[in-house]
Homo-oligomer: A and B are copies of this chain.
């Protein structure tokens, strides 16, 4: 039944497995709300305050054109509103409605606590802390790699030394 091979232990593969499983769980409880994982991310992100479409795209990792349409649907559901930014009329500011905020707050613990408890089951607090730090470091590494990949961009600066 279970197939084991070298690929099983590649980091991207393992992380994809975990993320995929967690997202499947999120989709399951989000479905009755009429949302999928992307919508859930938008909802929670907006708890941190109003955001432009662009900011939301970066925060949630959703393609901007996809996000634009998703926002339309969520707006039609009464979860959020869109309005032009008075200061910069190119931007659109997205805000939660009371309904949206209520929904987000209600389900917040599931997303931000329950899943971590499952993932960290049997793992010491010390290891959990280190794990989180490593993830942050990895994101920094990826960002640095992105910078390097850019042609004209300035000096790669402080890419973490491979020590």
State the A residues within 8 Å of B (CB).
3, 5-7, 9-12, 14-23, 26, 44-45, 47-48, 51, 55, 59, 61, 111-112, 115-124, 127, 130-132, 134-139, 141-142, 144-146, 159-163
Q: Are A142 and B21 in contact, CB atoms less than 8 angstroms apart?
A: yes
Copies of the polypeptide in the assembly: 2
Q: Which of these, B20, B124, B137, B139, contacts A61 with CB under 8 Å?
A: B20
Whether A19 lies near B21 (C-beta < 8 A) is no
**Cβ–Cβ contact A6 & B112, under 8 A:** yes
Which B residues touch A61, using CB under 8 A? 16-17, 20
A163: nearest chain-B partner, CB-CB: B122
B residues less than 8 Å from A11 (CB atoms):
115-116, 119-120, 131-132, 135
The answer for the CA separation of A150 and B121 in the assembled complex, in Å, is: 19
Task: Chain B residues near A6: list those with CB within 8 A.
Answer: 112
Q: Which residues of B contact A45 (CB under 8 A)?
A: 7
Q: Is the CB of B130 within 8 A of A21?
A: no
* Cβ contact of A3, chosen from B16, B55, B119, B144, cutoff 8 A: B55
Assess the A122–B137 pair: CB atoms within 8 A: yes
Contacting pair A116 B10 (CB below 8 A): yes
Q: Is the CB of A134 within 8 A of B139?
A: no
Given A12-B22, A12-B111, A17-B61, CB of A137 within 8 Å of CB of B123: yes
Can you give 11 A-B contacts (C-beta < 8 A)? A7-B112, A9-B132, A10-B112, A14-B132, A15-B15, A15-B135, A22-B142, A122-B141, A122-B162, A127-B130, A130-B130
